Amino acid sequence: MRILFVCTGNTCRSYMAETLMEELIDGQEDDDRLQKGELKVSSAGLFAVEGDEANEDALEALEKLYKIKGEKHKARKLTEEMTEESDLIFTMEESQKHAILDCYPETEGKVFSLKEYAIGSRGDDVDGDEEDILLDKNIDVEDPYGGDEENYRECAEEIRELVEIVLKKILAQKPEDK
């Protein structure tokens, strides 16, 4: 299964989601599919400048919160080929989801905002053990770009919680459901 995270510039939110999901996958030893490398994760941006490096504040948030040292990330602009190769596409904002659907209508049914997939558009899919941060009315993962250190940490924490839920949902699916 191929998962693609998408945001605006692919230097912050989608990069953090990709990195955090990879970290979670690496920490899962009890699922055969993960050991066989059947889950592939990548990221891109709707308006990315090819080759831009990850945002320094995003790198710092990942390192301070999760001890993840940022590798040399190079931003990628979303392409039709990427959408075709992906089984699930997660955007950080509802408007990004609609932009993808407008450009690539064939993605219908596999493109979701991250929060929508994790908890449903009204928060009605929550098991009850997720944090309050997931229950707000906003379906978007807010862009911390231009914000302070705290904004980046809060964004990283929110993304971490959401990708944990998404990974649980994916792993709970039977292979024939995918």
Name the active-site residue from 26, 125, 143, 155: 143
Confirm whether 143 is a catalytic residue: yes
pLDDT digits (tens, 9 = 90+) for 61-118: 999 999 999 878 999 999 999 999 999 999 999 999 999 999 999 999 999 999 999 9
Is 0.85 topped by the overall pTM? yes
Domain ranges of the chain: 2-177
Q: Could you please report the per-residue DSSP string of 157-172? A: HHHHHHHHHHHHHHHH
b/e sequence 70-103, b meaning 16+ C-beta within 10 Å? beebebbbbeeebbeebebbbbbbbebbebbbee
Confirm whether 87 is a catalytic residue: no
pLDDT digits (tens, 9 = 90+) for 142-169: 999 999 999 999 999 999 999 999 999 9
* HSE (side-chain half, CA atoms, 13 Å) at 131: 10
Confirm whether 124 is a catalytic residue: no
pLDDT digits (tens, 9 = 90+) for 58-77: 999 999 999 999 878 999 99
Name the active-site residue from 12, 13, 57, 153: 13
User: CATH number for the 2-177 domain, one of 3.40.50.300, 3.40.50.2300, 3.40.720.10, 3.90.1510.10?
Assistant: 3.40.50.2300
Q: How confident is residue 137, by pLDDT bands cut at 50, 70 and 90?
A: low
Name the active-site residue from 7, 12, 155, 160: 7
Q: Which two tokens stand for residue 26?
A: 């690496």
